[in-house]
Structure 1
Amino acid sequence: MEQLVSTLANAAHAVMDPVSGFIWSYILVYLLIGAGLVFTVMTKFMQFRLLGQMVRVTFARQSGGEGVSAFQAFATSLAARVGTGNLAGVALALWVGGPGAIFWMWITALVGLATAFIESTLAQIYKTNHRDGVFRGGPAFYIERALGQRWLGMLFAVFLILAFGLAFCGAQSNTIAQAMNGAFAIPNWVTGVVLVGLTALIIYGGIKSVARAAEKIVPIMAVAYFLVALYILIINISDVPAMLALIVKSAFGYGPAIGGAAGYSIMLAMENGIKRGLFSNESGMGSAPNAAATANVKHPAAQGLVQSFGVVCDTLIICSCTAVVILLSGVYDTLMSTSPGAAIQGIQLTQDAMGDHLGRFGEIFIALAILFFAFTSILADYAYSAINIEYLFPRHAERAVSIMRALILAMVMIGAVAQLTFVWDFADLAMGLMATTNLIAILLLSPIAVRTLRDYERQRKEGVKEPVFNPKILKHPERVEKGVWD
């Protein structure tokens, strides 16, 4: 069985790698940063002006009624964001692109704050009612309603299902299996069976069940990981200035070469930093808007600000924690000097680095961290996939969701025993296709989100504590579903 999986993985890699490389090297690297800069200017640098407001609305106590609250939507999207990209993905970016990849990951996050606001605000504006009391929405919905192009919305939905329902679930499961094997010598297939059982217990409860689980697990695991990384930073404080200098210099091609022939080329650092940054914070990818749309809020811009803060938590804080753990470890220095061209498993590097700092406790902690990080990501990936499968098959939604659940559980099992390269190749390609589709759509629709932000800020200046949205401020209010904003 394992030999068959290996053969299929190699064949898939030969097909997907050149296509994925072209999309990332010649399209997305420029489209992602370019769109983020455009949105930054259009919103008058909202990521800096409204950072305090982002924190306030994220942690404000608001009830979602029978649906999903603003914080539950935030926790669900953060569950999807905080996963393999934060631990294994950062390690891979460092190894292939060098420390300079971390710099470009930060840049991706900074401009991504504005991108996350635009797409999540649009998702809120064009969300729809659902019989279970939880709103539905996302890129597929605003592409159809605002652009009038259902075919393009369907295309995006297919890309998302391939990425989240299949590739990303496999990637998360793969990382959990590697971590459990490295820390406790648990066979990968055993981890796969346990994950399938735990995942089934929650996803069969629907999107509300996922939101409740995310709300309880995500804050605890994120704070714990941050505190451990902060402790490592403090005990190695004398090495921090040199580490920061290395990151910045490497981003522009200066520094000793590592990673074999890859070295420290600027393009390689940019490509890996942006790719893993996007995989981690998902800004512009079109995934987080699916969670944003479920929130029962009074104004779309409020949830847009909440999702922007999610990028801060994910990339600027948690991904940076992983970079600190690895770059300040003796493991990283040893590998650079002795095995620069070696193939490496992403989570193993993070695990070894944590062990170097904290001994056996570090190895166990990182294994448990990735278990919770990646498991909640699988749950959120299901929620995104279910929303989009319902969009594709509105007349047969229940049957389609049932099939989707079975496919996700199968991919969790396959991912646990598959090669890491195959899973990441598939994830990169699917992510690139859906991100390209979504970025083009939100570039066209961005004036709507900006108009909505101005309305929100106007009401705040007038002293309104919780601004209320009226679709009549839009040029085409008839495209918003009736009853959603009554």
Structure 2
Amino acid sequence: METIQTLFDYLSDLTWGWALVPLLVVIGLYFTLMTRFVQVRYFGRMFKLARPDAQTKTGQVSGWDALMVSVGGRVGGGNVAGVAVAVTLGGPGAVFWMWAIALVGMCTSLIECTLAQVFKRRSEDGTFRGGPAAYIKHGLGPNYRWLVLVYSFCLLASFGFGFNAFQGNTISTAVEDSLGISTVTTALIIGPLAGLIVFGGLKRIVKASDAIVPVMCFIYILMALAVIAINITELPRLVGMIVANAFGWEEAVSGGMGAALAAGLKRGLFSNEAGLGSAPNVAATADVKHPVSQGILQSLSVFIDTIVICSCTAFIVLLSPVYQPGGELTGAPLVQQSLALHFGQWAQYLLTVLLFMFSLSSIIYNYYLGEVAMTEFSKSKTAIFVLRVLVVACVMLGAAAPQATSVFFFSDPLMGLLAVVNLMVIVTLLPVVLRMLADYRQQLASGKHEPVLDACRFADLDIDRGAWK
């Protein structure tokens, strides 16, 4: 067992330790330049496309639905606890670098999610399936089947099992700390609740996300705005401190600019998942008229996750005297105490409820990623049923016995590996996205309000024509 753990530690060092973060940044900047800052040029269009009332074919997932599932997955306990850790370790400057990497990540997400739409397939039940596995098979060709299996295994093990155990752990410890409810009790609540959703398949996952995600984001944003309003006179000073600390002009923690840069980039990348190859699996489910439309919407998902929600946590913490750069109080307890200081003890209980919603939305998102990965090994109903049982068991195990999450030490290294695989593939397939962007721009320039993909114009690509009728 020690040998296996050492191997995964080595893999983690090779990816997250020194290679992956710079790779994500450099490739994101490359995409931004090659697409001529597409995330900036289509920023306003992101909000026009985010329509809850968007019409689709009967029974299909809309672009809005896919956006909500994606936001629900990206926005989790890390947007609260993780951001608090980042500003504790990196100082206020970490917030600036979170913003910077989010702007770059918006372009990376557009690229990978557009590819997911281009190469999506219509499944037997009429819904759409796709993601990195699909664009490896149909974009690179059948000779790369082995790479599909590597990617799918990493996705299944890390998101399907490992991260769901950690989400269970996040909510059970938060509930125990604030409400005094035992972790076992929380496990007995969240496990069946998650099972009720995941056993309903994609349609129930979409309905649950549509109900949970807007509410949890709205309440959390409202709380942050209230904190800002109470401390409005401190806001200019805080923004100046964030910028000064980001560039080392005002050192808040040991390491100065380097600590702020490292903490901000890692938190931003880990939170918004841009380039990691997870969100494209959800983006592919949407019934949209052009692949780029869903790519643009998924850019908005990154914006909501990092620029909006992560910033909410940062401002709640930084505007509180409880916060001390490099201090021992960090993570969710720091956010809880900050809110309690601003509003009173009731606020930490509300945060616990929000953390529950954040974790639940991430659990059902992670499960769906695991299901997509499982279909590359077996499409049988028995295999999917067993997967659902195992996922619920992992959630309950992580919630009931927090120390049990150490068993899932492989999660971060495998996520790093699937990110490397995904990045290499989307760099290779970038010309396909550039062609789609050119087609999209041309239709907009001709006066078409909503561009439509004509698959016949891309006969050289292995596109499922039936998915674009």
Q: TM-score, normalised by structure 1?
A: 0.90
1:383 aligns with 2:368: yes
1:414 aligns with 2:405: no
* Contact 2:88/2:327 (8 A) holds in 1: no
1:152 aligns with 2:140: no
Choose which of 63, 69, 91 in structure 1 pairs with 2:55.
Answer: 63
Deviation at residue 369 of structure 1 after TM alignment: 0.9
The separation in 2 between residues aligned to 1:420 and 1:79, in whole angstroms, is: 25
The separation in 1 between residues aligned to 2:428 and 2:262, in whole angstroms, is: 25
Match of 2:122 in 1: 129
Match of 1:480 in 2: 463
The separation in 1 between residues aligned to 2:48 and 2:356, in whole angstroms, is: 30
* Contact 1:100/1:264 (8 A) holds in 2: no
Q: Which amino acid aligns with 1:462?
A: S
The separation in 1 between residues aligned to 2:322 and 2:404, in whole angstroms, is: 21
Choose which of 238, 243, 251 in structure 1 pairs with 2:246.
Answer: 251
* Contact 2:88/2:330 (8 A) holds in 1: no
1:435 aligns with 2:419: yes
Match of 1:50 in 2: 42
The separation in 1 between residues aligned to 2:267 and 2:109, in whole angstroms, is: 16
Deviation at residue 465 of structure 1 after TM alignment: 1.8
In terms of mean alpha carbon deviation, does 197-206 or 421-430 score higher? 421-430
What does 1:156-195 align with in structure 2 at a 5 Å threshold?
Answer: 156-195=151-190
Say if 1:177 and 1:15 are closer, same or farther in 2 by CA, change over 3 A: farther
Choose which of 341, 356, 362 in structure 2 pairs with 1:356.
Answer: 341
What does 1:277-316 align with in structure 2 at a 5 Å threshold?
Answer: 277-316=268-307
* Contact 2:166/2:405 (8 A) holds in 1: no
The separation in 1 between residues aligned to 2:147 and 2:263, in whole angstroms, is: 28
Match of 2:316 in 1: 325
Deviation at residue 341 of structure 1 after TM alignment: 6.0
* 1:203-232 deviations in Å (ceiling 9; x for gaps): 100011101110111111111111110110
Q: Which amino acid aligns with 2:372?
A: I
1:75 aligns with 2:68: yes
Deviation at residue 482 of structure 1 after TM alignment: 3.4
Counting matched residue pairs gives: 465
Match of 1:402 in 2: 385
Q: Which amino acid aligns with 1:227?
A: L
Q: Which amino acid aligns with 2:156?
A: I
In terms of mean alpha carbon deviation, does 217-226 or 21-30 score higher? 21-30
Say if 1:426 and 1:251 are closer, same or farther in 2 by CA, change over 3 A: farther
Say if 1:49 and 1:453 are closer, same or farther in 2 by CA, change over 3 A: same
The separation in 2 between residues aligned to 1:323 and 1:423, in whole angstroms, is: 31
What SS class does the counterpart of residue 277 from structure 2 fall into?
coil
The separation in 2 between residues aligned to 1:281 and 1:332, in whole angstroms, is: 24
Say if 1:256 and 1:421 are closer, same or farther in 2 by CA, change over 3 A: farther
* Contact 2:120/2:464 (8 A) holds in 1: yes
* Contact 1:284/1:438 (8 A) holds in 2: yes
Say if 1:401 and 1:24 are closer, same or farther in 2 by CA, change over 3 A: same
* Contact 2:92/2:252 (8 A) holds in 1: no
What SS class does the counterpart of residue 330 from structure 1 fall into?
coil
The separation in 2 between residues aligned to 1:79 and 1:364, in whole angstroms, is: 21
1:212 aligns with 2:207: yes
Match of 1:222 in 2: 217
For structure 1, the 5+ residue unaligned runs are 1-7
Q: Which amino acid aligns with 2:45?
A: Q
* Contact 1:221/1:369 (8 A) holds in 2: yes
The separation in 2 between residues aligned to 1:421 and 1:204, in whole angstroms, is: 23
1:461 aligns with 2:445: yes
The separation in 1 between residues aligned to 2:250 and 2:411, in whole angstroms, is: 30
Deviation at residue 321 of structure 1 after TM alignment: 0.3
In terms of mean alpha carbon deviation, does 209-218 or 164-173 score higher? 164-173
1:27 aligns with 2:31: no
The separation in 2 between residues aligned to 1:360 and 1:13, in whole angstroms, is: 42
The separation in 1 between residues aligned to 2:459 and 2:97, in whole angstroms, is: 37
* 1:90-139 deviations in Å (ceiling 9; x for gaps): 11222233322222211110001110100000000100111222110001
* 1:370-429 deviations in Å (ceiling 9; x for gaps): 1111111101111111111112324x3x22212221221121122222249848965432
Say if 1:420 and 1:381 are closer, same or farther in 2 by CA, change over 3 A: same
Q: Which amino acid aligns with 2:441?
A: E
Say if 1:257 and 1:55 are closer, same or farther in 2 by CA, change over 3 A: closer
What SS class does the counterpart of residue 63 from structure 1 fall into?
coil
What SS class does the counterpart of residue 295 from structure 1 fall into?
coil
Deviation at residue 12 of structure 1 after TM alignment: 8.4
Q: Which amino acid aligns with 2:279?
A: A
The separation in 2 between residues aligned to 1:234 and 1:429, in whole angstroms, is: 41
The separation in 1 between residues aligned to 2:64 and 2:29, in whole angstroms, is: 27
The separation in 2 between residues aligned to 1:85 and 1:318, in whole angstroms, is: 10
Match of 1:446 in 2: 430
* 1:345-367 deviations in Å (ceiling 9; x for gaps): 62222222211211112101111
Q: Which amino acid aligns with 1:392?
A: F
Say if 1:465 and 1:41 are closer, same or farther in 2 by CA, change over 3 A: same
Match of 1:118 in 2: 111
* Contact 1:109/1:315 (8 A) holds in 2: yes
Q: Name the Cα RMSD after superposition.
A: 2.2
1:346 aligns with 2:331: yes
* Contact 1:76/1:380 (8 A) holds in 2: yes
Identity of aligned residues (%): 41
Deviation at residue 274 of structure 1 after TM alignment: 2.1
The separation in 2 between residues aligned to 1:421 and 1:190, in whole angstroms, is: 17
* 1:242-295 deviations in Å (ceiling 9; x for gaps): 32233223333444454xxxx234444333322221221111111111111000
Q: Which amino acid aligns with 2:241?
A: L
The separation in 1 between residues aligned to 2:404 and 2:41, in whole angstroms, is: 40
Q: TM-score, normalised by structure 2?
A: 0.93
Q: Which amino acid aligns with 1:483?
A: G
The separation in 1 between residues aligned to 2:231 and 2:8, in whole angstroms, is: 41
Say if 1:349 and 1:11 are closer, same or farther in 2 by CA, change over 3 A: farther
What SS class does the counterpart of residue 44 from structure 1 fall into?
coil
